[in-house]
C-alpha cells in the first residue's frame, strides 16, 4: 500500500494523539465521535464547529454515517472563522466517518480517521448508505480505510450482540488500529466513560497493541453529551 506523504504525516500525527488519550481526554480536550444533521445528528456542522471552538477542544473529528459532507461544511466554517480573525488557531480537525460493517456475523460500526475522502477505495463508503454484501465485511472496510491512508477504530465495543472479548480479537486479526476505549454507555447528565466497560476494552486493546480513542457519540445538540 502506497500512502501519500502528506496523508501519512496526518495519520502519524493523529496516531500520536491517540497514544495520549486517557479517561480525562473526552469531552473537553478531544472528541472523536460526533454526528451532524448530515446523518443522524441534530447539530448543523457550523453549530458543532462553533461549540468545538467555544469548548476549547484541542482536536476532534465528525463521524457522520457514510458521508463526509458534514465534515466539509464544518471545515469551511472553520476556515472562514480563521480568515475573519486572521489566525490559524483553533482545534485540529481530522476527517472522520462511521461505517456500518459485519464482524463475526454481527453488525458493528467502524470509525475511520485521517483518510483521503477522494481515494477510490473509500469513495463507495461515502455515498450516504450502509454498504452491503462483500463491501460490508469488516476486512473490506478496514482495508478501504487503510488504502485511503486512514486509521480504523472499532466503535463502542460493548454495544453489540457479541462480546468485546470476541469482537476485539477478531478485529485485531483483521488489522484494525484501535478501539473506542473511553465511551459512555448509559448517557448520564455529566458525560464520563463507563468504568466497567472501559476496563474490559482497555485490557483487550492493550493485549492486542491497539490504540485507544474516546468520543461522546453526540447525536443531540450538546457536544458534552450523547443525546
27 upstream amide cis, omega within 30 of 0: yes
Q: How far apart are CA 45 and CA 211, in angstroms?
A: 27
Q: What is the mean pLDDT of the chain?
A: 95
pLDDT in tens, 88-101: 888 999 999 999 99
What is this structure's pTM?
Answer: 0.96
At 73, list the grid cell. Answer: 461544511
According to the model, what pLDDT value does residue 54 have?
95
pLDDT in tens, 31-67: 999 999 999 999 999 999 999 999 999 999 999 999 9
Q: What is the mean pLDDT of residues 210-218?
A: 98
Domain coordinates of the chain in residue numbers?
A: 5-214
Is the model's pLDDT at 4 over the cut of 80? no
CATH label, 5-214, candidates 3.30.1600.10, 3.30.9.10, 3.20.20.140, 3.40.50.300: 3.20.20.140
Amino acid at each position: 500500500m502506497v500512502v501519500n506523504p502528506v496523508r501519512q504525516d496526518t495519520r502519524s500525527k493523529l496516531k500520536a494523539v491517540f497514544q495520549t488519550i486517557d479517561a480525562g481526554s473526552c469531552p473537553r480536550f478531544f472528541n472523536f465521535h460526533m454526528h451532524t444533521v448530515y446523518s443522524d445528528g441534530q447539530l448543523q456542522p457550523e453549530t458543532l464547529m462553533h461549540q468545538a471552538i467555544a469548548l476549547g477542544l484541542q482536536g476532534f473529528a465528525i463521524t457522520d454515517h457514510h458521508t463526509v459532507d458534514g465534515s466539509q461544511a464544518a471545515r469551511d466554517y472553520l476556515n472562514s472563522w480563521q480568515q475573519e480573525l486572521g489566525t490559524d488557531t483553533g482545534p485540529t480537525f481530522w476527517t472522520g466517518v462511521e461505517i456500518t460493517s459485519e464482524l463475526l456475523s454481527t453488525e458493528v460500526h467502524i470509525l475511520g480517521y485521517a483518510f483521503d475522502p477522494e481515494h477510490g477505495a473509500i469513495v463507495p463508503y461515502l455515498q450516504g448508505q450502509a454498504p452491503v454484501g462483500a463491501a460490508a465485511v469488516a476486512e473490506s472496510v478496514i482495508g478501504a480505510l487503510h488504502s485511503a491512508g486512514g486509521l480504523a477504530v472499532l466503535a463502542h465495543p460493548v454495544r453489540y450482540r457479541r462480546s468485546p472479548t470476541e469482537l476485539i480479537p477478531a478485529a485485531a486479526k483483521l488489522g484494525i488500529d484501535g478501539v473506542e476505549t473511553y465511551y459512555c454507555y448509559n448517557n448520564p447528565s455529566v458525560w464520563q466513560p463507563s468504568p466497567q466497560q472501559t476496563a474490559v476494552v482497555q485490557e483487550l486493546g492493550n493485549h492486542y497493541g491497539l490504540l485507544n480513542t474516546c468520543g461522546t457519540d453526540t447525536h443531540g445538540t450538546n457536544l458534552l453529551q450523547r443525546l
